[in-house]
Structure 1
Amino acid sequence: MSTQQQLLNQLKTAGYKLTPQRRAVIAALVKSANPVTNQSLHAALKPDHPEIGLVTVYRTMALLDKLGLLCRFNYGDHISFRAGPPEHHHHLVCRGCGNVVDFTDHCPLELQSAVERNTGFRITEHTLEFAGYCRSCQEA
């Protein structure tokens, strides 16, 4: 089953209508190779769906995020999303081109254990992002 169909099924299961606008937003989101902002997603939708407003994109993305169907990337005031749950994984984020690379297999679980031990804090979830410049951007 495609990611797009999975998102639609999860929305329907949660009791939400699968409106043409939500379907279009989800299709554009899934189609994007890199994380998207609400504004960039709206711009991508405009040529084929001029009737979809920016508010509709914001509301649809907020709903998907609330349901845990998006992976969110925060860079200061800049927020972008990628389809998929915010599962346990980590990111390398290029400040030049915006490319995001997952590196789940290098999870420093011993770091999480040490933080819990040293602070008495029980960690239930976390995100880890390293920001810098990919090879292509370094060469440019």
Structure 2
Amino acid sequence: MEALVKVLKNHKCKITPQRLAVYHVLRNNKDHPNAEAIFKMLEPNYPTISLATVYKSLELFAELGLIQAINLGENSFRYDPNPKVHPHVICSKCNKVEDLPEEYFDDLKAVVAKLVNYKVTKQHLTFYGICSDCNTN
């Protein structure tokens, strides 16, 4: 939380209990929740928080490079507490999103760049399948 406060101060952003709570919930959640899910998690302890505040906080955190907003083709963005670009795997049944270890894909950007003679500046790698929980049902 100290790092968050420092970044917010450096960018002259307000430090509010609601912003701190949004960041805390996201940092302690590996499910890549959307704004509505974060709102529902916060609402019991912050009854005056609005969904707009959650959205604005998440947008600010992404803009400051503290988190990553990921578009997985759903109706809303998911938010990842890891701001570094990394691959994901998504369950096609329950929509669970999980991080994949980056070291297996380290050379992929260079391979693609060489293959197509591009200067690759950005990548987004996502795999889809059925998670073990859904596979047993």
Looking at structure 2, the residues matched to 32 and 107 of structure 1 have their Cα atoms a distance apart, in angstroms, of 24
Question: How far is 1:117 from its partner?
Answer: 3.2
Cα gap change, 1:88/1:27 in structure 2, threshold over 3 Å: closer, same or farther? Answer: closer
Looking at structure 2, the residues matched to 133 and 5 of structure 1 have their Cα atoms a distance apart, in angstroms, of 38
Structure 2 letter corresponding to 1:138: N
Q: State the secondary structure of the residue aligned to 2:78.
A: strand
Residue 79 of structure 2 is matched in structure 1 by 81
So what's the TM-score if we normalise by structure 2? 0.85
Residue pair 1:92, 1:103 contacting (<8 A) in 2 also: no
Looking at structure 2, the residues matched to 83 and 108 of structure 1 have their Cα atoms a distance apart, in angstroms, of 20
Cα deviation, 1:43-77, whole Å, max 9, x if unaligned, reads: 11111101110110110000111111112332213
Residue 120 of structure 1 is matched in structure 2 by 117
Task: Give yes or no for the alignment of 1:53 onto 2:50.
Answer: yes
Residue 102 of structure 2 is matched in structure 1 by 104
Residue pair 1:72, 1:81 contacting (<8 A) in 2 also: yes
Structure 2 letter corresponding to 1:10: V
Residue 126 of structure 2 is matched in structure 1 by 129
For these two proteins, the number of residue pairs brought into alignment is 135
Q: Percent sequence identity over matched residues?
A: 28
Residue 66 of structure 2 is matched in structure 1 by 69
Gaps of 5+ in 2: none
Structure 2 letter corresponding to 1:84: N
Gaps of 5+ in 1: none
Residue pair 2:67, 2:79 contacting (<8 A) in 1 also: yes
Looking at structure 2, the residues matched to 8 and 138 of structure 1 have their Cα atoms a distance apart, in angstroms, of 42
Cα gap change, 1:12/1:84 in structure 2, threshold over 3 Å: closer, same or farther? Answer: farther
Residue pair 2:88, 2:97 contacting (<8 A) in 1 also: no
Question: How far is 1:108 from its partner?
Answer: 5.2
Cα gap change, 1:62/1:44 in structure 2, threshold over 3 Å: closer, same or farther? Answer: same
Q: Which stretch has the larger CA shift, 58-67 or 95-104?
A: 95-104
